[in-house]
Amino acid sequence: MKTLLRLLSKIDRPGHFTWLAALFFMAFAPAAMAADIKLEAESGTRNGVTVASSMAGYSGTGYVQGFDNSFAKNVKFTFNLPAAGIYELSIRYATPSGEKGYVLEVNGQQSSGMFTNVTGFGTAQGGMFSLPAGANTITLGGGWGFYFIDFINLASANIPLPAKPPKTLSDANATVSTKNLFSYLVDIYGSKVLAGQQEINELQEIDYVRTHTGKDPAVGSYDLIEYSPSRIQYGSNPAGFSERAIAWAKKDQGRGIISLMWHWNAPTDLINQSPDKLWWSGFYTRATTFNFAAALADKNGANYQLLLRDIDAIAVELKKFQAQDIPVLWRPLHEAAGGWFWWGAQGAGPFKELWKLMYDRLTNHHQLHNLIWVYTAERAKPEWYPGDAYVDIVGIDIYENTAVASNLSGQWTELQNLFNGKKLVTLSETGNLPNPEYIRTFKTWWSWFAVWPGAEYTRKQPTSLLHAVFNDPDVITLDELPDWRKSGAVTGSALEQALSQLEVYPNPANGTHLTMKTMARSPMKATVGLYDAKGAKVTEVTAQLVSGQNQVRLPLRQVPAGIYVLSIRKGNEQVCRKVVVKK
């Protein structure tokens, strides 16, 4: 090593220095990196659980068993970290009685996850956590229970930005507006998140959000549930719900983005018994005996024709949006792998067949070319995925029973492992507002989020949090949407295309400096400036950007609190980002 250091000290030719320095770090840096921290379950503090060793393949002196649905039965780890940082947490577990859920609490912040069914011991990704130096506490238990825990592992995390997928829709005949909307979603992926809100007939949640934030969501999410023929047979009246969604989409020069889902009441065989199997809950597996696998197997049968009848009824509504040149983020057959909806009750194979039937019926038979197909995934269940040819975006629905919203990095990481660079990933439903600080820290750049409506969800969010999220500089609302129908409206300039992975942090900023980081395709000289709400220049630096990674720092010591615009200029072109400064 001393010989190599002497060589490095004598080299003054940049190319040689870079090569030898790289050799040095490849050879010796791993030894200096922090080692993983392994927390054996049998060494933790056990509450209502016991150590066992009868199942082979465990680490250490045993594993912990006896977990059930109560979080009171848990194993608790208290440990010291030598340095603060972001750590990736993984859990080695066993599920001898099938798939199970669990609850994880890290320094008081709860999250939940799933242990898939494995033979022997397997490993689950628990997510990423920002941990301080010194004492830390992790507790694991509850969920669905009845699993074994071998150990928890913590490793220093290197979090990449998500890779952008191709701007190619599954429908080659998609309308121009639909293609341009998808292009816009790809352009902002990894740097901004679209604010969304789920709407239902009885409530006016978008109005509620506007009242408490001064903003409309960028994505209005609506449900075609009442158009299900079996609901209409019982007297359901949609009362122009599609027209209401269309009217919202036309706000602000028609820039509103529409998402449509369909809680599909089973076409027939509704149980219609109280208390929880009445006709209006016929989308639940518990409320119907309809066997769609059998219906799909008999294409000449009456039940197969009922499937087509129902899809055709929804096509009537979707055509209203196409007639108004409104693209739709179309999210049917959601949460199938959970099994609680009838379209998931017969397993992955029949579900995928039903998805493909609907895709063909709407796209080819009804010539609906305004649909962007959004598949709602379940964690670590790729066998349910219909296939790239039938899906444009992958979403996940997350409801965590916790007062403090988790960072959702575990769910994000699992989907990125399956779809990074292939599909956009979105938070299609959530019970809690995502925290923008977590999004920036853990790079969980969901394409959009949509909070479920009602007293248990949207209206349970603190109004201060609702206002903060919808006014965050990295959360896009309706008033901030560009005219995405025009090709190149977002990244039309050569400068925007030349600067990829553009990040501005911290944002909101409350320190002495603001940092702009970007990847430049080629060397260039640019001016980076900060401007106040009136357009007056606050501070400015000239930067010589190199090909590759660049960082530019702007001083903030004398900058008062407020909303600013960061401008990167080259000649007559500029790229802008909104920045919030807090003091």
351 close to 336: Cβ distance less than 8 angstroms: yes
- Between CA 448 and CA 161 the distance in angstroms is 16
C-alpha of 258 from chain center: 18
User: Of residues 105, 429, 496, 503, which has the active-site annotation?
Assistant: 429
User: Of residues 88, 335, 378, 414, which has the active-site annotation?
Assistant: 335
Please give the helix or strand (H or E) that residue 205 lies within, else none. helix 205-213
In eight-state DSSP terms, residue 98 is S
- Between CA 362 and CA 368 the distance in angstroms is 6
C-alpha of 419 from chain center: 12
- Between CA 506 and CA 202 the distance in angstroms is 40
Closest by CA to 102, choosing from 94, 325, 111, 534, is 111
Cross-strand partners of 140 = 75, 104
Q: What does each C-alpha distance from 100 to 266, 337, 411 come to in angstroms?
A: 28, 14, 15
**Token pair in block for residue 239:** 């009362």
Beta strands at 573-581 and 562-570: parallel, antiparallel or unpaired: antiparallel
Indicate the SS3 state at residue 232: helix
Indicate the SS3 state at residue 540: strand
429 is catalytic: yes
CA dihedral 238, 174, 343, 232 (to 10 degrees): 20
DSSP E strands, 116-232:
121-131, 134-141, 148-156, 193-198, 219-223
Q: What does each C-alpha distance from 405 to 109, 189, 486, 505 come to in angstroms?
A: 8, 22, 37, 22
Beta strands at 257-261 and 328-331: parallel, antiparallel or unpaired: parallel
Indicate the SS3 state at residue 300: coil
- Between CA 201 and CA 151 the distance in angstroms is 47
**Token pair in block for residue 298:** 């008999």
437 is catalytic: no
**Block residue for tokens 């952008």:** 164
**Token pair in block for residue 411:** 């769910």
- Between CA 279 and CA 265 the distance in angstroms is 8
Count the neighbouring beta carbons within 10 Å of the beta carbon of residue 513.
11
Indicate the SS3 state at residue 326: coil
Residue 235 Rama label (left phi>0; alpha psi -120 to 50; beta): left
**Token pair in block for residue 486:** 């025009």
Buried b (16+ CB within 10 A) or exposed e, 459-490: bebeeeebbbbbbbbbbbbbebbeebbeeeeb
Q: Which residues are catalytic?
A: 335, 429
